[in-house]
Amino acid sequence: MGTTLVAKAFGPKVVLHEVSLQLRPATIHGLVGVNGAGKTTLLNCIYGLTAPDAGTIGEASGRRVRELTGVLPYEPYFYPRLTGLEYLTFCRQARRQPMVDVTGWNQLFELPLNQYAEQYSAGMKKKLALLGLLIQDFRYLILDEPFNGLDLETNLLLREILLGLRGQGRGILLTSHLLGALTEVCDEVTVLAAGTVQRHYAAAEFGQLAADLQSGDYQQKLALLRQLL
């Protein structure tokens, strides 16, 4: 699955300039970049939540990306007066699949599934949205900041879950601002800067990624910080 030369502007503001990116099966692909670089916009274009102005998005089989892909938004939203369990049932039924037993999965996440989801804490909402993806059978997953807001134990569990899904052949595209989480789980990382692909790093180049992040601009900011403190 991938994008070719995708461009997107909001009014006069060009947010994506001809971005091309490939998400392969059995691969965890990290998308990083400073705040405002265009990561969420790109994910939204891939999933079809935002219409790109130019470029193509597609999958080798020709099937619609949305049919094959589950998405975890940065801030999951739940309808009012829907319990956690009702939300999970809705996830399955929306794709014409019968409900499954979620007891095992919920032993991992320990959610109060009989309570209204909108009353969950931020981390609990993220866990519920993840659970909604895990009980479906997506070939690809798009996860916007999946580690953010999860407690320490669930963060560790999520890393194992992602590696397990990769082992099943699924392709996972995720954004994160946590270098450690990225380098531990990703097979490759694409750095987006001001709406263009700045560089693509294979796993063997992750040392260079860390070095690049700490050079140039960052060193100037450190010098400024030393004056300010």
Ligand X SMILES: Nc1ncnc2c1ncn2[C@@H]1O[C@H](COP(=O)(O)OP(=O)(O)OP(=O)(O)O)[C@@H](O)[C@H]1O
For ligand X, the closer of residues 34 and 202 by Cβ is 34
Task: Report the phi/psi class of residue 95: left, alpha or beta, with left for phi > 0 and alpha for psi in -120 to 50.
Answer: alpha
- Tell the residue number behind the tokens 């990382």, with chain if given: 189
Closest CB 33 distance from ligand X, rounded Å:
5
Question: Does residue 64 contact residue 95 with C-beta atoms inside 8 Å?
Answer: no
- Looking at the Cβ atoms of 17 and 24, the one nearer to ligand X is 17
Q: How far is CA 1 from CA 56, 78, 159, 198, in A?
A: 11, 28, 22, 20
Report phi then psi at 156, rounded to 5: -65, -40
User: Which residues contribute to the site for ligand X (CB under 6 A)?
Assistant: 10, 13, 15, 33, 35-41
Q: Reduced to 3 states, what is the DSSP secondary structure of residue 29?
A: strand
* Closer CB to ligand X, 41 or 106, in the complex: 41
Give the nearer residue to ligand X in terms of CB position, either 157 or 178: 178
- The residue type of 27 is T
Instruction: Specify whether the backbone of 123 is left (phi greater than 0), alpha (psi in -120 to 50) or beta.
Output: alpha
Q: How far apart are CA 88 and CA 10, in angstroms?
A: 34
Smallest gap from residue 122 Cβ to ligand X (A): 15
Question: Closer to ligand X at the Cβ: 44 or 106?
Answer: 44
Q: How far is the CB of 115 from ligand X (least distance, A)?
A: 29
Rounded to the nearest whole angstrom, what is the least distance from the CB of residue 11 to ligand X in the complex?
7
Which residue, 38 or 146, is less far from ligand X as judged by CB?
38
3-state secondary structure (DSSP) of residue 164 = helix
CB of 27 to ligand X, least distance (A): 21
Shortest separation between residue 208's beta carbon and ligand X, angstroms: 21
Q: How many residues in the chain?
A: 229
Question: Bridge-partner residues for 14, per DSSP?
Answer: 9
